[in-house]
Amino acid sequence: MTDSVLYTRDGDLGIVTVNNPPVNALSQHVRLGLSECFATAAADDSIATILICAGRTFIAGADISEFDKPMGPPDFLETLAMIEDAAKPVVAAIHGTALGGGLETALCCHFRVAVPSARLGLPEVLLGLLPGAGGTQRLPRLIGPEAALDAITTGTPMNSAAAHAAGVVDAIVDEQGLLEGAKAFAREVVATGQPLTRVRDLNDKVSAVDPAIFVATRKKVAQTKRGFEAPLSCIACVEAACTLPFDEGMARERELFQGLRDSVQSAAQRHIFFAQRAATKVDDMPADTKPQRIERVAVLGAGTMGGGIAMNFANVGIPVIVLETEQALLDKGLGIVRDNYERTAKKGRLSSADVEQRMGLITGTLDYADLADADMVIEAVYENMAIKKEVFAKLDATTKAECILASNTSTLDVDEIASVTSRPDKVIGTHFFSPANVMKLLEIVRGAKTSHETLASTLAVTRKINKVGVVVGVCDGFVGNRMIHRYGSQASYLLEEGCLPHEVDAPIYDLGFAMGPLTMSDLAGLDVGWRIRQGKGLPASLPAGERYCEISDRICEMGRFGQKTGDGFYHYEPGDRNAHRDPSIEQLIVEYAREKGIERRQIPASEVIERLMYALINEGAWILEEGIAQRASDIDVIYVFGYGVPAFLGGPMFYADQVGLDTVYRRVCEFAEADPASWKPAPLLKRLAESGGTFN
């Protein structure tokens, strides 16, 4: 027997305990252990078997790291069949998360009991997979195809109470007494001679299906999961559960599962799963670095970002105090926060009591003295170094010595900001993305003097507020915006050289991005970049030989700032976010090219994709070379969680690996030859291309 699964006796009951930290994944040795332990249980004189897990959770699924390798024996489906076919009752005792293969294992047990805090679900779709161990065939039989479709295509887990109501869980037992509760349940089952439920034999719900649910779900998935293959395969499997006998449905599930497992999309999504977790690890930070407790937070500025940042803390029960310069601005900012919560409540996603509870955690002030208790302050005032320095000097003088001082700056040097304080070790950048209460990404900017403790505390609080944190170094634009600047420049050069706005955007949208670069600029507000360029004195201050495109400036000069003014690169109808082509802008672009003596040409969509993607990738390679990002996968996480790159592309650096770095490098060199001012091939890209290497 393996150490990771143990069989013990507790009087007349057999207990199978899985112990494979941290999440009891179904690694090969666990599958082997399960098969051996259930064989032992079948052969002894126990009256029932309980399947339970040690540590923090029930089985959280297949071992995702094994999908790239051949599956070793035993065959998992045979092990599950052995559990389901057992002649004595098998009871799954669930705590933590029963996910994916874990829930599929539980569905092969005859009964399931769970503690109130447990969560159960089939999240395979989030890894570009489908539940491949009978989940698509058994869940619809147990809870009906409609509810199963929802669970399988979204991957959203159910809490214990919902699982109980749906019939996935037979009984909820005391939080602290899972094993005792399961034992009592098993003995009761035996004593009352309850028949053993084999989910595969339940056919009532699947035979009564209304086929319209498949049409409706396909439509929904096309809107919410554009370009993802896995949700469509999930639907096909549930449909098979409703139209084919169990064994044939299982065969269909197997075939579609294997196709997805071997697909680039799933490899990309698995890459992002591990990349997201790797991103929080800081290579030189000792593992035992203790985070400080962050129980009270302050936010400076109640503008676009400050309000959203404050909401993140209130959402998880952390009191937050917001400081402004004037009462009217404070009232306005907090009013917007309340409106945001009330809009969510109107959609039924919050109760009015929740709204009041969260608003109750957010207080306003005009007085720095009220920040004395804060464990962390996040500054979100105007993007201006002089103002930031003034504010940080005041914060240094008024907050307690151990308070962490964070800046939400999107471009400024965190080290220079830290220099005005007596505690540069406690200064850090926390770069939220807009809208800050919605976007998952947080770039955590590590200054030259930021201490490990400050970094560990910021990482811990990032996790607490359910953000995806990535540690980056100090440079203009950090990782995400520094790269997007190159991408945006290429978008404008493409306009000069021959494309119209929709011809720049469509290829990138078709690749899977949430939107193309010009639609994104319209959404973010064209004035933001315009003001930054004006601040830098551009284009007059442009160094000789540098390239500059004035199209965006000219659009701004017309008072067109994008969606917020109803016009930008595109036209927007009131109340409608759809971008419509605008002949006046198309004419402006053509005339601009003529004025500059640029001969426009037909640019193929493939070149548009190369220019935009390789601009990101080449800058990403520079960023890695300079140590601004720790690893290529960190850049991928930033792009998936902050810039609308679909997880199925795996981020720009993963995408580059798929294209082949020799191809990427060759094209970057060609672009550099044609336009040396805007392309400088990264040495890292060259080295990897020449050695046959990859970023990830």
Could you tell me the smallest distance in angstroms from the CB atom of residue 23 to ligand 3HC? 4
Question: Which conformational region is residue 425 in: left (phi greater than 0), alpha (psi within -120 to 50 degrees), or beta?
Answer: alpha
Please work out the total of residues on this chain that contact ligand 3HC, with binding judged by CB under 6 A: 25
Give Cα separations from 421 to 6, 365, 397, 404 (angstroms): 57, 22, 8, 11
Q: Spell out the residues 6+ positions from residue 674 whose beta carbon is closer than 8 angstroms to its own.
A: none
For residue 660, give the 3-state DSSP assignment: coil
- Whether the CA torsion 628, 634, 640, 641 is positive or negative: it is negative
Q: How many CB atoms lie within 10 A of CB 235?
A: 22
Active site residue 379: no
- 541-571 residues labelled b (16+ CB within 10 A) or e (exposed): eeeeeeeebbbbbebbeeebbbbebebbbbb
- Using CB under 6 A as the binding rule, whether residue 124 contacts ligand 3HC is answered as yes
Q: CB nearer to ligand NAI: give 228 or 561.
A: 561
For residues 354 to 393, the per-residue mask of contacts with ligand NAI, x marking binding by CB under 6 A and - elsewhere, is --------------------------xxxx---x---x--
Rounded Cα distance between 519 and 595, Å, is: 25
Q: What angle do CA 578, 482, 480 make, to 5 degrees?
A: 60
Contact between 231 and 153 under an 8 Å Cβ cutoff? The reply is yes
| Given the residues 104, 239, 503, 619, the one annotated as active site | 104
Member of 14, 61, 140, 301 binding ligand 3HC (CB under 6 A): 61
Q: Which two tokens stand for residue 345?
A: 């409540």
Beta strands in 514-579 (DSSP E): none
Beta strands in 151-285 (DSSP E): 158-159, 171-172
Contact between 404 and 377 under an 8 Å Cβ cutoff? The reply is yes
Member of 46, 63, 437, 446 binding ligand 3HC (CB under 6 A): 63
- Using CB under 6 A as the binding rule, whether residue 46 contacts ligand NAI is answered as no
Contact between 227 and 647 under an 8 Å Cβ cutoff? The reply is no
Could you tell me the smallest distance in angstroms from the CB atom of residue 303 to ligand NAI? 2
- Using CB under 6 A as the binding rule, whether residue 293 contacts ligand 3HC is answered as no
- Using CB under 6 A as the binding rule, whether residue 517 contacts ligand 3HC is answered as no
| Given the residues 36, 78, 124, 503, the one annotated as active site | 124
- Using CB under 6 A as the binding rule, whether residue 160 contacts ligand 3HC is answered as no
Member of 9, 219, 226, 277 binding ligand 3HC (CB under 6 A): 277
Active site residue 324: no
- Using CB under 6 A as the binding rule, whether residue 60 contacts ligand 3HC is answered as yes
Q: CB nearer to ligand NAI: give 208 or 438.
A: 438
Q: CB nearer to ligand NAI: give 227 or 644.
A: 644
Contact between 83 and 38 under an 8 Å Cβ cutoff? The reply is yes
Q: Which two tokens stand for residue 593?
A: 């090219």
- Using CB under 6 A as the binding rule, whether residue 438 contacts ligand NAI is answered as no
- Using CB under 6 A as the binding rule, whether residue 314 contacts ligand NAI is answered as no
Q: How many CB atoms lie within 10 A of CB 267?
A: 20
- Using CB under 6 A as the binding rule, whether residue 434 contacts ligand NAI is answered as yes
- Using CB under 6 A as the binding rule, whether residue 311 contacts ligand NAI is answered as no
| Residues between 316 and 345 with contacts to ligand NAI, criterion CB under 6 A | 323-325, 329, 333
Q: Is 110 exposed, middle or buried, given 0-12, 13-18 or 19+ CB atoms closer than 10 A?
A: buried
- Using CB under 6 A as the binding rule, whether residue 89 contacts ligand 3HC is answered as no
99 binds, among ligand NAI, ligand 3HC, none (CB under 5 to 8 A by kind): ligand 3HC
Member of 5, 15, 23, 106 binding ligand 3HC (CB under 6 A): 23
- Catalytic positions, written as ranges: 104, 124
Residues that bind ligand NAI (CB under 6 A): 300-306, 323-325, 329, 333, 380-383, 387, 391, 408-410, 431-432, 434
Residues that bind ligand 3HC (CB under 6 A): 22-23, 25, 57, 60-65, 97, 99-101, 104, 123-124, 127, 129, 131-133, 135, 274, 277
